[in-house]
Structure 1
Amino acid sequence: MQHIIGISRQQMRFSSLEDTISPDNQVRFIDAFVEFFDLSKLDFAVKTLKTEGRPSFNSKVFLKIYLYGYLNGLRSSRKLKKECLRNIELQWLLEDIRPNYHSISDFRKSNPIALKKLFKLYVLFLKDADLIGCETIAIDGTKSRAHNSKKANFNQKKIDKHVDYIEVKTQKYLNALEENDAKDNPAKIQNIQQK
């Protein structure tokens, strides 16, 4: 009896990126969410096309990368770049565009306020669409008294406090990206490449 045998690496396959992503995958939502917005209204620095030199990346590419990283806990431009190369979901989302880490980092550095607005809008949209923040309660035949606890009711002060909390968490995420980019030492990477 033999072990299960894989497909030869030299065998050609005909498939598309569309075939690899399921219809209910989160990257489809990220794509639709980013394509819906006019970036200039969110105060993003949209690059204009020039007649000379290499064309720039569309700003929506970087937004898709950052939203994907935000959802998956990727907090470094180098890690995001690595995921663009090996992650089939990001390849589908970016239509196989693979920007380098420096371009990803520069976009964040030139648009910090707009990114905060986008993350806030994204979380609020997900909450309004009942895609996050829903709680499920199951009762196993136990009778319980109804009560209105401090955690269960909301007033304007609590809502404002929660919005401030979201802004602080977003700033922490952006700071973590900055710190991780600073930790990655390019001289060390060049030394590895030389070896």
Structure 2
Amino acid sequence: MMGDRTKIQEALFYEFRLEDHVPAGHLLRSIDRFVDLDGLREHLRPFYSGTGRPSIDPELIIRMLIVGYVMGIRSERRLCEEVHLNLAYRWFCGLGLNGPVPDHSTFSKNRHGRFRESDLLRQMFEMTVRQCIAKGLVGGEGFAVDASTIKADANRQRSVPSPDKLPIEAAHRAVREYFSVLDDAAFGSATPVQPKYISPVDPAARWNAASGGLAYYAYCTNYLIDLKSAVIMDVETTTAIRQAEVTAQRRMIERTQETFGIWPERLAADTAYGSAENLAWLVHERGIEPHIPVFDKSARQDGTFERRDFTYDHVHDLYVCPGGQQLKQQWRKINSDQPNAPPDNLLRYRSSKLACDVCTLKPKCCPNQPNRKVLRSIHEGARDMARDIALTDAYIISRRERKKVEMLFAHLKRILKIDRLRLRGPNGARDEFHLAAAAQNLRKMAKLIPPGAPALST
């Protein structure tokens, strides 16, 4: 027989314990073990006034931001609604059943103010890295680096042709930040080429068409990860251009060494990081093996001899062509002093015109030139080392493990839903990328370290 309609019977007293209603396997319960905010108040104390009404607890704001980025809640208005309704969110934020949820405007005021001035979000990200190191998830031997473009909050159909057209007289925050990073190697000075279009609402965002579809304004998030468990060791925000990615790689390696004292033995990356200057920096200045394809444009399409067909003689500093003739930098002594390095870092080796005129291989060597010229980088030693590493089994393993950083970018865009930024300007992008990287590290620890498990061996 059908039961009666359920009726809500109000009780005079309720016995309710929030701890009992959060499942043991809930993601936030697992993450809460690794959130260490003990030093948060002391870090922010200089940025609060000693008088006036008490502010909203900064730990509550940070915990709500962690909930938003871990659970993929992009809107702060919606985040406040979800924390108000969801018992697990309330438990993680320490609100209880009756605790009031802050207004959404509180996030903007704190982020643009004391959080950004104190570099708090960077400190929180480094907290997750230290937790990963303490739990034995970081090997410290092999690193990988890569960058991914994230769409900026700017309309591609509303653009200005040059910075001169920006409304400087009423400049908002993103415009002021754009002018402040014009000399930064990761933004304005990354390349002398001026962008084709500039967004008036976020001029630091770069006009980008890397995906092959319609162009859009974007920033780049750069990850430096440890290959043992794909822990994000560092994150850097740059403009969406290859030269800036190389700058970010150097900054992240230096910062990781200074902050955590970790010196990797090898670095895996794609061809964008295979320039001669970058390979030389890794080999000679940092002592890191570059498991990176060499960026080389010496290949020819007309069937003539390529540079690799010429043999270099280290002892006499010359090349030997397939016909046995020598290519030298100088064929006679010059009294004037020559610079140690050419302006473009390329040494030029030329053959003798008399030898080339009688050579039977001239049609396959230099059919349209009187003699043959070969260019050699002053960093060719580091390039040769990278080529030798590319022939080893360790290089094959590194190339396979490098895909872990690509998986992190896929997770960032599909699970955390950060395929488009909400905040504008370089500082806004930096805040979002720091929070997202911290959320990914927290989720990594929650996945790999079950409750009650001892720390992994370091």
| TM tier, smaller | 0.5 to 0.7
Q: TM-score, normalised by structure 1?
A: 0.57
Do 2:60 and 2:94's aligned partners in 1 also have CA atoms closer than 8 Å?
no
Identity across matched positions, percent: 20
Cα deviation digits, residues 105-141 of structure 1 (max 9, x gap): 32232324432442464367458665x759xxxxxxx
Q: TM-score, normalised by structure 2?
A: 0.28
Higher Cα radius of gyration:
2
4+ residue stretches of structure 1 with deviation over 6 A? none
Name 2:75's counterpart in structure 1. Answer: 76
Task: Measure how far apart 1:2 and its partner are.
Answer: 2.0
Q: Counterpart amino acid of 1:105? A: S
Name 1:115's counterpart in structure 2. Answer: 121
Name 2:400's counterpart in structure 1. Answer: 152
Name 1:143's counterpart in structure 2. Answer: none
Do 1:64 and 1:93's aligned partners in 2 also have CA atoms closer than 8 Å?
yes
Aligned CA distance change for structure 1 residues 35 and 3 (closer, same or farther; 3 Å)? farther
The farther-off stretch of 78-87 and 26-35 is 26-35
Do 1:30 and 1:68's aligned partners in 2 also have CA atoms closer than 8 Å?
no
Do 1:30 and 1:67's aligned partners in 2 also have CA atoms closer than 8 Å?
no
Name 1:192's counterpart in structure 2. Answer: none
1:15 aligns with 2:21: no
Name 1:105's counterpart in structure 2. Answer: 108
Measured in 2, the distance between the counterparts of 1:37 and 1:84 equals 22
1:16-95 equivalent positions in 2, closer than 5 A: 16-39=17-40, 48=48, 50=50, 52-53=52-53, 55-95=54-94
Measured in 2, the distance between the counterparts of 1:49 and 1:129 equals 40
Measured in 2, the distance between the counterparts of 1:129 and 1:178 equals 34
Cα deviation digits, residues 81-115 of structure 1 (max 9, x gap): 11121111111122224111011232232324432
Measured in 2, the distance between the counterparts of 1:46 and 1:29 equals 32
Task: Measure how far apart 1:152 and its partner are.
Answer: 3.1
Do 2:37 and 2:59's aligned partners in 1 also have CA atoms closer than 8 Å?
no
Higher strand share: 2
Q: What residue ranges of structure 1 are gaps of 5+ in the alignment?
A: 135-145, 180-195
Cα deviation digits, residues 142-161 of structure 1 (max 9, x gap): xxxx994443356xxx99xx
Aligned CA distance change for structure 1 residues 177 and 116 (closer, same or farther; 3 Å)? farther
Measured in 1, the distance between the counterparts of 2:86 and 2:136 equals 27
Task: Measure how far apart 1:14 and its partner are.
Answer: 1.6
Name 2:249's counterpart in structure 1. Answer: none
Task: Measure how far apart 1:70 and its partner are.
Answer: 1.1
Q: CA RMSD in A?
A: 4.4
Measured in 2, the distance between the counterparts of 1:7 and 1:125 equals 49
The farther-off stretch of 11-20 and 43-52 is 43-52
Name 1:178's counterpart in structure 2. Answer: 423
The farther-off stretch of 110-119 and 72-81 is 110-119
Higher helix share: 1
Measured in 1, the distance between the counterparts of 2:129 and 2:110 equals 21
1:2 aligns with 2:2: yes
Aligned CA distance change for structure 1 residues 106 and 17 (closer, same or farther; 3 Å)? same
Q: Counterpart amino acid of 1:8? A: I
Do 1:40 and 1:46's aligned partners in 2 also have CA atoms closer than 8 Å?
no
Aligned CA distance change for structure 1 residues 152 and 62 (closer, same or farther; 3 Å)? same
Task: Measure how far apart 1:6 and its partner are.
Answer: 4.9
Measured in 2, the distance between the counterparts of 1:16 and 1:27 equals 17
Cα deviation digits, residues 22-73 of structure 1 (max 9, x gap): 23333234444334441268x65776475543x2122111111111111111
Q: What residue ranges of structure 2 are gaps of 5+ in the alignment?
A: 138-228, 232-392, 425-458
Match of 1:152, SS?
A: helix
Aligned CA distance change for structure 1 residues 10 and 69 (closer, same or farther; 3 Å)? same
Measured in 2, the distance between the counterparts of 1:46 and 1:58 equals 15
Match of 2:421, SS?
A: helix
Aligned CA distance change for structure 1 residues 75 and 126 (closer, same or farther; 3 Å)? farther
Do 1:34 and 1:63's aligned partners in 2 also have CA atoms closer than 8 Å?
no
Measured in 2, the distance between the counterparts of 1:79 and 1:56 equals 22
Task: Measure how far apart 1:19 and its partner are.
Answer: 1.2
Aligned CA distance change for structure 1 residues 22 and 103 (closer, same or farther; 3 Å)? same
